[in-house]
């Protein structure tokens, strides 16, 4: 582990310790019997944050295979949540099975062996053309385009976009060799901090709704406050990255804006499907996609910007 990563993890641990202390004090003062749902939800969220940070730290310690495996598992959980809500018929069975058991493993294998030319197009070209063939071969034209499009979007979001997080490990940046894991740490830290701070700013000062028909809890005050805080924090941690301070601020702004848009788009899908959360497996947060939605939209853009401006390959 590079010393920089150790500093960041230490900082996050201190932050979480403080949050845990506050959560426990609130609980003891206000409702020791666990009768206040807001405080219970806050504590469940903090506990889940601990689990997520520890898992990430273990993956970072295990190096490239650990990171690729962790995000493959996250993709699997996300794909399952997404495809549980999409339209499908018995004719799609092979296509769905292939999405889980062929497309997902192959994409992560390609990322693992660093075959950029193939993993960059494998899903948009090969999976998108071949999966509908499987559905067509099994017959059943009813809602064909809806079924195919929803399955493809599930793959795009849950597998293709998520796989661009571990893909950051393959970038060749002069003077940054062996430290690419810091790019992942910085990206996730910035984007997730933006989510948390948008929630905090929104709770404190939120007045004007951002998209009332999609998500009643999102406000302009929360959005702008979250962006400003996370951009400042991303810039302050420029020393973790190959970017200069000003560049880090710009990058942080791009990824937090993309992350917020991701949350908005995924809210629209949830609304359309009539659910509040994508899943139920992370206590206090909902599903894996509820936590990943902002990373999903930020990761590919962050990957390509970094690759275009800093990478030697």
Site residues (CB under 8 A) for other proteins? 76, 80-81, 83-85, 88, 90, 93, 96-97, 100-101, 273-275, 279-281
150 vs 221, which CB is nearer to other proteins?
Answer: 150
Give least dist CB 69 to other proteins, A: 16
Give least dist CB 100 to other proteins, A: 6
Give least dist CB 193 to other proteins, A: 29
208 vs 280, which CB is nearer to other proteins?
Answer: 280
List Cα–Cα distances, 197 to 30, 201, 203, 244, 267, in angstroms.
24, 6, 10, 24, 18
149 HSE (CA, 13 A, CB side): 4
Give least dist CB 139 to other proteins, A: 13
Tell me how many degrees the CA angle 19-232-172 measures, rounded to the nearest 5.
100
Cβ atoms of residues 238 and 245 within 8 Å: yes
Give least dist CB 142 to other proteins, A: 10
85 vs 257, which CB is nearer to other proteins?
Answer: 85
95 vs 252, which CB is nearer to other proteins?
Answer: 95
Cβ atoms of residues 150 and 218 within 8 Å: no
Closest Cα partner for 56 from 107, 12, 114, 110? 12
List Cα–Cα distances, 69 to 35, 72, 135, 300, in angstroms.
39, 5, 29, 18
3-state secondary structure of 281: coil
187 vs 266, which CB is nearer to other proteins?
Answer: 266
């Amino acid at each position: 582990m590079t010393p920089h990563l150790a500093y960041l993890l230490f900082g996050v641990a201190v932050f979480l310790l403080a949050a845990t202390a506050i959560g426990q004090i609130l609980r003891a003062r206000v409702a020791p019997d666990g009768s206040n749902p807001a405080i219970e939800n806050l504590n469940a969220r903090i506990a889940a944050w601990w689990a997520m940070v520890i898992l990430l730290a273990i993956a970072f310690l295990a190096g490239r295979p650990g990171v690729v495996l962790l995000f493959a598992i996250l993709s699997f959980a996300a794909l399952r949540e997404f495809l549980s809500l999409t339209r499908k018929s018995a004719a799609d069975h092979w296509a769905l099975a292939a999405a889980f058991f062929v497309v997902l493993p192959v994409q992560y294998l390609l990322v693992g062996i660093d075959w950029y030319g193939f993993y960059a197009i494998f899903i948009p070209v090969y999976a998108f053309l071949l999966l509908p063939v499987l559905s067509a071969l099994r017959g059943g034209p009813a809602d064909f385009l809806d079924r195919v499009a929803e399955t493809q979007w599930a793959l795009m979001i849950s597998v293709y976009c998520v796989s661009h997080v571990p893909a950051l490990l393959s970038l060749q940046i002069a003077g940054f060799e062996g430290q690419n894991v810091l790019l992942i740490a910085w990206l996730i830290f910035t984007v997730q901090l933006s989510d948390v701070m948008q929630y905090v700013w929104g709770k404190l000062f939120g007045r004007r709704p951002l998209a009332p028909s999609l998500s009643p809890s999102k406000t302009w005050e929360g959005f702008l406050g979250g962006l400003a805080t996370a951009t400042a924090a991303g810039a302050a941690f420029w020393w973790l990255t190959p970017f200069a301070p000003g560049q880090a601020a710009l990058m942080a702004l791009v990824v937090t804006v993309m992350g917020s848009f991701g949350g908005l788009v995924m809210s629209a899908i949830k609304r359309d499907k009539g659910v509040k959360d994508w899943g139920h497996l992370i206590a206090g947060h909902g599903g894996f996609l509820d936590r990943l939605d902002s990373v999903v939209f930020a990761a590919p853009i962050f990957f390509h910007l970094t690759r275009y401006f800093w990478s030697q390959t």
